[in-house]
Amino acid sequence: MSRRLHGSVLSDPVTVAGEPPLSVFAYDQVQLLPGLLREQFDHNHDLFLHLNEDALLKPFREREGMPAPGPNMGGWYDNAEDFSPPANFHAFIPGHSFGQYLSGLARAYAATGSQPTREKIHRLVRAFGETVEPEGKFYRGYHLPAYTYDKTSCGLIDAHEFALCPDALDVHWRVTQAVLPYLPEKALSRAEQRLRPHGMVADTWDETYTLPENFFLAYRRSGKKEYRDLAVRFIEQDYFGPLADGQNVLPGEHAYSHVNALSSAMQAYLVLGDEKYLSAARNGLQFVHEQSYATGGWGPDEAFVPPGKGLLNDSLGTTHASFETPCGSYGHFKITRYLLRTTRDSHYGDSMERVLYNAIAGATPILADGTTFYYSDYNNSARKVHYKDKWPCCSGTFAQLSADYGISSYYRSGDGVYVNLFVPSRLTWSPNSTPCTLTQTTEYPRQETTQLAFSLTRPETFTVYLRIPAWAGAKTNVSVNGRRAESPAEPGKFLPLQRTWKDGDRVEIEFEMPLRVEAIDDKNPRSVALVRGPLALFAVSEVPPGLTRAHLLTASRSSSDDWTVRTASGDLTFRPFASIMDEHYRLYLRVES
Ligand SMILES: [Zn+2]
């Protein structure tokens, strides 16, 4: 595989068992155009570009006994002695998210070509490298060595791949040698960690089972077989084996890290070629889907619940920590991207966009002091709030995810291009060496249409595959240059448009977005959410008595964002998550019939 990046081409030095039939475009081939996603990307890029470098490096320098100037970042990031769960999470995981910020910046550089961003990445990698010494002092007495190493690893791989940072792979090798004495002989579940001698409870929270993905990537980038061996060593067979056999082993497990681990299964499948890991990833995500909220979010209190007991419904009354949104969305995008590319099954795109519009699109911006949106709240009395601690995990994944919006939107196939997300964007590529630009203009999902405009230097034959979501109504219509497409738009499939495209060609999709009512689980058929197309609608006014499903299905648009249901006992207003500010809201309503 090779990736075009600002004129240079990087190639993997190893051959792997297989490549997915769909590949991602280089970051700079997909530009987000003005809109909410572009705003999130720009905000995160700007915030991390201006973060104090001494502050970022401080925990590493301090733990190595080096001079450590600059301010403390605060929150989870500091190196201090007062961490004492569950009361005090200050200094929980010193320097944990450094690699994620590096990764977010490297991807942002790849998307924008911003030289100040590239220079900052190079400075950070060089200065970080100076803190890595063979005895691995940093990891001595560290509560979650695999957790932090995994993020550092990702950041260095991305700095090498996307910011062409020459030192990054050498630093990666050295930091790997530094952490190895502190890692167990294999991936350990939390239950296994609890059974081993340990200090405080946080010592049982490490995530060795997420390591293989980045070890495989390090192997692919560097060609060093040692990384492949490490990847194989940390594949959690007790997790993937049962999943591959169709056993749901998710209940009780930590939610985000176990969804993230499914991406390790995908790298294991791609590098080693064993179908078992593909089955594990597919079945694992299917089990997640079966216990997701109507938003696509999952994991109340960061855990999977035993299915079939109505526990998801119980969570609406017991917790406000309903979905770990930036991390969960990042993991969800990553696994649905792998599976969509591998299977070409459009349902993975449907799943990705559900989480996009109902979860991460409604996350409030990270503030300059590290104040971060963490949990989406689906409690029956819910509000948007910031997380109690600064610079948590979600501040790192948000920066990575917002840089990935572009590459998640389009994929290249041998015969053309797949259009997966309907977002304002511009794709530039060269099918059969013909320079081509596809500009997508849309206010989807607020509006039901999207337009694709093609610009080519000469006519060229290729296929454009459009994702027709499974929820799409029978009136969904695709037209090319104003004429209805010959093949019908079949919900739950990609619609192929094969033709000789020429400059000025236009495609328009008009989606029929029927309203539907979704019960939270089988045990609670009267606890329902109102959904329209990809959008869950949240009630933001007093719920009138005697509400029924039939009432909900009469909702009509009352402003650009709001939907209203009129009943004899009062009106009820609904709003999508991204438009909710400080007002109280609720996702699930009790219906009489
Ligand atoms: Zn998080």
DSSP state at residue 12: -
Task: Measure 472 CA to ligand 1 centroid, in angstroms.
Answer: 32
* The predicted structure's pLDDT at residue 227: 98
CB 73 within 8 A of CB 370: yes
Using left for φ > 0, alpha for ψ between -120 and 50, and beta otherwise, residue 113 falls in left
H or E element in which residue 329 lies: helix 325-343
Task: Measure 397 CA to ligand 1 centroid, in angstroms.
Answer: 7
User: Pairing mode, if any, of strands 570-575 and 563-567?
Assistant: antiparallel
Please give the mean pLDDT across all residues of the chain: 96
- The Cα 80–Cα 567 span in angstroms is 57
* The predicted structure's pLDDT at residue 7: 41
Tokens of 154: 């990702």
Mean pLDDT, to the nearest integer, of 126-143? 94
Confidence of residue 10 (pLDDT cuts 50, 70, 90): low
Task: Measure 123 CA to ligand 1 centroid, in angstroms.
Answer: 26
Task: Measure 455 CA to ligand 1 centroid, in angstroms.
Answer: 40
* The predicted structure's pLDDT at residue 8: 45
Residue 144 has pLDDT above 70, yes or no: yes
Task: Measure 554 CA to ligand 1 centroid, in angstroms.
Answer: 37
Angle 96-100-102 from CA coordinates, rounded to 5°: 115
Mean pLDDT, to the nearest integer, of 37-49? 98
Mean pLDDT, to the nearest integer, of 318-325? 98
Length of the chain: 593
CA distances 381 to 384, 480, 529, 588, Å, are 11, 46, 14, 10
Task: Measure 325 CA to ligand 1 centroid, in angstroms.
Answer: 7
* The predicted structure's pLDDT at residue 13: 79
- The Cα 289–Cα 65 span in angstroms is 47
Task: Measure 478 CA to ligand 1 centroid, in angstroms.
Answer: 39
Nearest CA to 126 out of 64, 77, 170 is that of 170
Q: In this predicted model, what pLDDT tens digit does every residue of 392-440 receive, in sequence order? A: 999 999 999 999 999 999 999 999 999 999 999 999 999 999 999 999 9
Residue 590 has pLDDT above 90, yes or no: yes
Residue 11 has pLDDT above 70, yes or no: no
Q: In this predicted model, what pLDDT tens digit does every residue of 530-579 receive, in sequence order? A: 999 999 999 999 999 999 999 999 999 999 999 999 999 999 999 999 99
Q: Name the maximum alpha-carbon separation found in the chain.
A: 73
Task: Measure 239 CA to ligand 1 centroid, in angstroms.
Answer: 22
pLDDT-above-70 percentage for the chain: 98
Task: Measure 302 CA to ligand 1 centroid, in angstroms.
Answer: 9
* The predicted structure's pLDDT at residue 135: 82
Task: Measure 92 CA to ligand 1 centroid, in angstroms.
Answer: 13
Confidence of residue 580 (pLDDT cuts 50, 70, 90): very high
- Residues 467-488: b if buried by 16+ CB within 10 A, e if exposed: bbbebbeeebbbebeeeebeee
Residues 6 or more apart whose CB falls under 8 angstroms from that of 339 comprise 266, 281, 282, 285, 345, 348
CB 411 within 8 A of CB 417: yes
Question: Alpha-carbon torsion 342, 347, 351, 352, what sign?
Answer: positive
Task: Measure 140 CA to ligand 1 centroid, in angstroms.
Answer: 24
Task: Measure 545 CA to ligand 1 centroid, in angstroms.
Answer: 37
- Residues 385-407: b if buried by 16+ CB within 10 A, e if exposed: eebebbbbbbbbbbbbbbbbbbb
* The predicted structure's pLDDT at residue 264: 98
Task: Measure 314 CA to ligand 1 centroid, in angstroms.
Answer: 23
Task: Measure 267 CA to ligand 1 centroid, in angstroms.
Answer: 22
Mean pLDDT, to the nearest integer, of 389-393? 98
